């Protein structure tokens, strides 16, 4: 074995010894990259595959997704040269995951579908349903991110059928959790709660703390969406205890985030900052750069809600810089939108419009259709604030069409409400009445706390319509 190969093997063994020791790996990253350059140029396909498999989790943890993608694509080529179908499937999934984190959902879908197509070629059939269940579940997640909830559900139900074939309750649980999330994203809380009950029964049957924590988090999210913050807090707190029972710092950090969401809704900004700081401390101790970036964005959101957009901008800019550094287009688009909202709040409408337009472009490129719909909605808000009623109606109309395409009933209701207010001021009472009628109809199905207020407005619109008709 020559010296370069020994050098490469040393770093494979070094990383494999403790992949979570990110601080040590950080210190050796220059040498690890130097070894990769030689491996990349070599004809040793097995060494390429071993190196990527060893280092990929570290790149994932540190949010180095562009580098991870380049390595995974070289690994994919190696598996094809070796004609190893099992390894090729794993490599396709790694490439897909990297594209996912970089905000390219369609590329994720293409690579995962290629992996699915290879499954029948595997020699061993024993674990095929479990692998296929995982792959189609991830495909469902990709379609959910693209805003196609109906397609996501098709994949999730297929994943559930496959999981049950494996008689592996953990695989079945993950498929249930994905299905629950799809229904919640579609604005169908009753169906989501049905799956939550099934999840918690399964987790309790097997007395598993981690899966009980995940179920209680899902239940807490539903309670939060319904405005029942007391119940959500109890569920998050119970989930936190289960996460601590198994020493899962990652889950613990997410529960701090969830508890912070309640405190933020209640206006307790000091508590929000405290909870985010606790989460930030945990994710930094794990070296999780991606979650750290998310928390910077969350702190920006805190200051926005606290009425301090200037301070929010500082955190959004830090978050945007990290997103661009790691090449995450989805986060980049979201933070551009946040900066637009901050400048909008400050009354700097021209700067806000520039950020909104850039955010719209980035999110369209990333395929983030739900964020695109929200952006069109806030661009309608900005046009309305500028007294540009025609432009506002146009933006709201585009947003509404998109919410219908992606089956987001909650966002659709919000857009209809804003559009109706503009139409009302323009004297289009009939159109405004129809939109508010649709809003109230939806809100009654989900027990929205604003239902009565909106129903009263609907009745008032109806009276004004009749008065107009009587006057000819």
pLDDT at site 135 = 87
Decide if pLDDT at 387 tops 60: yes
Task: Provide the 8-state DSSP code for 207.
Answer: T
Decide if pLDDT at 363 tops 90: no
Instruction: Report whether 76 contacts 91 (CB < 8 A).
Output: yes
Instruction: Report whether 41 contacts 48 (CB < 8 A).
Output: no
Is residue 186 classed exposed, middle or buried when 0-12, 13-18 and 19+ CB atoms within 10 A define those classes?
A: buried
Q: In sequence order, which residues have a C-beta less than 8 Å from that of residue 311 and are 6 or more positions away?
A: 303
Taking residues 352-375, what's their average pLDDT? 91
The span from the CA of 229 to the CA of 260, in Å, is: 11
pLDDT at site 5 = 79
The span from the CA of 440 to the CA of 387, in Å, is: 27
3 vs 101 pLDDT, higher one:
101
The two tokens of residue 412 are 């659709």
Distance (Å) of CA 75 to CA 60, 95, 201, 402: 15, 9, 41, 38
Stated pTM of the model: 0.57
pLDDT at site 125 = 64
Closest CA to 252 of 239, 268, 271: 239
The span from the CA of 28 to the CA of 15, in Å, is: 10
Decide if pLDDT at 452 tops 60: yes
328 vs 253 pLDDT, higher one:
253
Could you read off the pLDDT of 180-221 as tens digits, one per residue?
A: 888 887 788 889 899 999 999 999 999 999 999 999 989 998
Could you read off the pLDDT of 232-257 as tens digits, one per residue?
A: 999 999 998 998 898 888 888 888 88
The crossing angle, in degrees rounded to 10, of helices 22-41 and 3-17 is 150
The span from the CA of 152 to the CA of 139, in Å, is: 7
Could you read off the pLDDT of 269-306 as tens digits, one per residue?
A: 889 888 988 898 888 888 888 788 888 898 898 889 88
Which of 120-124, 166-170, 410-414, 438-442 is predicted least confidently?
Answer: 120-124
**CA dihedral angle for residue 458, residue 460, residue 464, residue 467, rounded to 10 degrees:** 120
The span from the CA of 102 to the CA of 104, in Å, is: 6
Instruction: Report whether 253 contacts 275 (CB < 8 A).
Output: no
pLDDT at site 43 = 79
pLDDT at site 91 = 94
Taking residues 412-426, what's their average pLDDT? 95
Taking residues 404-419, what's their average pLDDT? 93
Instruction: Report whether 363 contacts 372 (CB < 8 A).
Output: yes
The span from the CA of 430 to the CA of 463, in Å, is: 11
Which of 6-15, 59-68, 260-269 is predicted least confidently?
Answer: 6-15
Instruction: Report whether 294 contacts 322 (CB < 8 A).
Output: no
The span from the CA of 95 to the CA of 270, in Å, is: 41
Helical segments of 346-428, H only: 349-366, 369-385, 389-405, 409-425
**Residues above pLDDT 70, as percent of the chain:** 98
Which of 165-169, 259-263, 337-341 is predicted least confidently?
Answer: 165-169
Decide if pLDDT at 20 tops 80: no
Instruction: Report whether 121 contacts 148 (CB < 8 A).
Output: no
> In which residue are the tokens 């009950």 written?
197
Taking residues 75-101, what's their average pLDDT? 92
Average pLDDT, the chain: 88
Decide if pLDDT at 51 tops 80: yes
Could you read off the pLDDT of 58-82 as tens digits, one per residue?
A: 888 888 888 999 999 999 999 999 9
pLDDT at site 121 = 82
Helical segments of 62-122, H only: 65-82, 85-101, 105-118
The span from the CA of 466 to the CA of 153, in Å, is: 44
Decide if pLDDT at 1 tops 80: no
């Amino acid at each position: 074995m020559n010296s370069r190969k020994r050098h490469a093997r040393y770093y494979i063994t070094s990383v494999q010894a403790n992949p979570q020791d990110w601080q040590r790996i950080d210190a050796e990253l220059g040498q690890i990259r130097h070894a990769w350059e030689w491996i990349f140029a070599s004809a040793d396909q097995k060494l390429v595959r071993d190196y990527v498999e060893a280092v990929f989790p570290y790149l994932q943890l540190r949010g180095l997704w562009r580098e991870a993608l380049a390595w995974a694509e070289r690994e994919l080529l190696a598996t094809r040269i070796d004609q190893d179908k099992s390894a090729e499937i794993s490599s396709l999934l790694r490439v897909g995951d990297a594209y996912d984190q970089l905000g390219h959902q369609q590329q994720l879908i293409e690579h995962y579908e290629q992996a699915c197509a290879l499954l029948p070629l595997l020699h061993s059939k024993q674990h095929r349903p479990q692998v296929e269940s995982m792959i189609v579940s991830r495909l469902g997640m990709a379609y959910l991110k693209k805003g196609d909830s109906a397609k996501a559900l098709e994949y999730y139900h297929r994943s559930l059928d496959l999981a049950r074939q494996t008689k592996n309750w953990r695989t079945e649980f993950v498929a249930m959790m994905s299905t629950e999330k799809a229904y919640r994203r579609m604005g169908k809380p009753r169906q989501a709660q049905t799956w939550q009950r099934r999840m918690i029964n399964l987790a309790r049957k097997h007395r598993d703390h981690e899966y009980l924590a995940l179920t209680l988090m899902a239940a807490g999210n539903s309670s939060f969406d319904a405005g029942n913050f007391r119940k959500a807090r109890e569920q998050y707190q119970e989930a936190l205890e289960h996460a601590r029972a198994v020493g899962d710092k990652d889950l613990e950090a997410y529960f701090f985030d969830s508890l912070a969401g309640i405190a933020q809704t209640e206006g307790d900004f000091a508590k929000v900052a405290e909870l985010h700081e606790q989460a930030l401390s945990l994710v930094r101790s794990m070296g999780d750069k991606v979650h750290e970036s998310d928390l910077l964005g969350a702190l920006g959101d805190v200051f926005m809600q606290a009425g301090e957009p200037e301070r929010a901008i500082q955190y959004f800019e830090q978050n945007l810089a990290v997103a661009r550094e790691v090449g995450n287009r989805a986060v980049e688009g979201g933070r551009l939108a946040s900066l637009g909202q901050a400048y909008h709040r400050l009354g700097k409408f021209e700067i806000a419009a520039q950020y909104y337009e850039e955010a719209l472009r980035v999110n369209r490129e990333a395929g983030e259709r739900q964020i695109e719909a929200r952006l069109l909605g806030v661009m309608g808000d900005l046009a309305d604030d500028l007294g540009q009623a025609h432009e506002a109606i146009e933006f709201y109309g585009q947003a509404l069409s998109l919410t219908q395409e992606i089956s987001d009933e909650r966002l659709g209701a919000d857009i209809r409400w804003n559009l109706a207010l503009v139409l009302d001021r323009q004297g289009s009472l009939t159109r405004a009445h129809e939109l508010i009628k649709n809003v109230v109809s939806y809100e009654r199905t989900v027990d929205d706390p604003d239902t009565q207020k909106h129903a009263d407005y609907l009745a008032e619109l109806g009276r004004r319509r009749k008065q107009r008709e009587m006057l000819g």
